[in-house]
Structure 1
């Protein structure tokens, strides 16, 4: 089996990328599911970690009594999903090359990334997430700050008031903008960082460029990912065990199709 090293032999610079099509999305979903079935271990562990994180998030917000923060965390959860699925990119890359997909092999590659560009992108996204929590709290305070309600589980009817509906509308719009920013930066940028020797700023710019120049298929992919993750979180986050690794593998295959088609052009 081919041995894939973590880094120095990666091709330098960003690849030529073709523009995505709706047919590529269908192909990516099918290939992602096949990869998950072929090597499910890492994906299941990553999914289980996200399920556990969801449970901890619920426990902390319930124990503090400020379950309003749970709403913000749920909106933020899909934004972090690409980073949680990063290891599945490596699994798919190895499956395509006939290399080992052992759990230790994947962890070795991920550990090697600590000295690369990924931590910089992670750090930037953490700052953006924290800013989203700050803005979310400000929106809540703006519309409902004078309401005697801190627990949405016992005072949910406040959201049906005029101020509550206005708060939901504003929060959804702002949260959607943050989610779109995350998506545009990561959808191509993250797999590119694994595949190529490229700085994170270049990867971000190229990723955003693909989204801007092909809005229909890329926004369709964003909607599919968002809906799938939302539905996966409904049964106590347990759906993430399957959906997260499936979408992770599929995201790699979408990038790989764009790369291969760009190389042939």
Structure 2
């Protein structure tokens, strides 16, 4: 009896993943990403703007509800969902690269992937990761606040010795979690936009790319973290430009990494 292979179960050939990424490839990706943004700014500004508005609304609700203790971990973890938000930007870059027509329907329709719900499955993983980060961050803050006693709920607590220790510990844990999450999504989400593979295959390819080009991909992670941090300082407004820049650039880095 013959069987028909499911294309979603077909693993990516290892030879497709390059192991010779260089720092120059990162600057080339940023340059190409900026050209994409400049050529079709309406998509990047709209997607980045929606991301900013969502962050501001959630921050405002947390503040007025007196949940100031969740503001810092929420702000720190908010970039975790950025790779999923950037799916439409990957599709815009792909279409511009291939010379295909661009429209809001095609850009937003990228969330459907190849009609197989693989990107939506990745979306679930992304939001579960964000929720897990919030749980971990809340647990860390609860431990330190319990030690500090009354007054630990105020923002002034962050300037105390205990508050600074909480930020250091929480930041260290967050950095490890963020890099693991970055390793999982940096290649997988662009791949799911580009190819009819399963999210498991895409995640494996993403981890292999980071492992095979660890130094360069670590530098790329640092560039992303620094740019996002700087963009978030002026009330998140810098993300209107930085998010689409990084989204388009990530597409071009993905294309370089997988030849």
Provide the TM-score with structure 2 as the length reference.
0.90
Where does residue 101 of structure 1 map in the other structure?
102
Q: Is the 8 A contact 2:69 2:153 kept in 1?
A: yes
Q: Which moved more, 1:18-27 or 1:114-123?
A: 114-123
Q: Does the 8 A contact of 1:32 with 1:247 survive in 2?
A: yes
The answer on whether the counterparts of 1:193 and 1:199 sit within 8 Å (CA) in structure 2 is yes
Structure 2 distance, partners of 1:102, 1:79, is: 27
Instruction: Classify the secondary structure of the residue corresponding to 2:18.
Output: coil
Contact between 1:41 and 1:103, CA under 8 Å: does it hold in 2?
A: no
Is residue 2:81 matched to residue 1:84?
no
Aligned to 1:62: 63
- Once the 2 structures are TM-superposed, how far is the Cα of residue 122 of structure 1 from its aligned partner? 1.6
Supply the distance in 2 between the matched residues of 1:111 and 1:202 (Cα, whole angstroms). 17
Matched, 1:71 2:72: yes
Is the CA contact (8 Å cut-off) linking 1:14 and 1:192 kept in structure 2? no
Counterpart pick for 1:150 among 149, 153, 173: 153
Asked whether the equivalents of residues 209 and 257 of structure 2 are also in contact (C-alpha less than 8 Å), the reply is no
Q: How many residues align?
A: 248
Seen in structure 2, the aligned counterparts of structure 1 residues 112 and 187 have a Cα distance that, compared at 3 Å, is: closer
Matches within 5 A, 1:148-227: 148-152=151-155, 156=156, 158-227=157-226
Conserved 8 A contact 1:65-1:151: no
Tell me, yes or no, if the aligned pair for 1:22 and 1:217 is still in contact at 8 Å: yes
- Going from structure 1 to structure 2, the CA distance change for 1:63 and 1:31 (only over 3 Å counts) comes to same
- Aligned ranges 1:120-159 → 2 under 5 Å: 120-145=121-146, 146-152=149-155, 156=156, 158-159=157-158
Matched residue, 1:3: none
Other-structure match for 2:22: 21
C-alpha deviation, 1:113, in angstroms: 5.5
The CA distance in 2 between the partners of 1:60 and 1:113, in whole Å, is: 36
State the shift of 1:104 in Å: 2.1
Report the Cα offset of residue 160 of structure 1: 3.3
CA contact (8 A) 2:112 2:119 kept: no
CA drift at 1:169: 1.2
8 Å contact kept, 1:228–1:243? yes
Superposed CA RMSD: 1.9
Q: Secondary structure at the match of 2:258?
A: helix
- What's the counterpart of residue 3 of structure 2? none
CA contact (8 A) 2:188 2:206 kept: yes
Paired residues of 1:190 and 1:203 also in contact (CA < 8 A):
yes
Q: Structure 1: any 5+ residue segments left out of the alignment?
A: 1-7, 261-265
For the Cα contact (< 8 Å) 1:66–1:151, is it kept in 2? Answer: no
On the 8 A contact 1:191/1:255 being kept in 2, the answer is yes
Unaligned runs of 5+ in 2: 1-5
Q: CA deviation at 1:112?
A: 5.1
In 1, the alpha carbon distance for the partners of 2:115 and 2:231 equals: 30
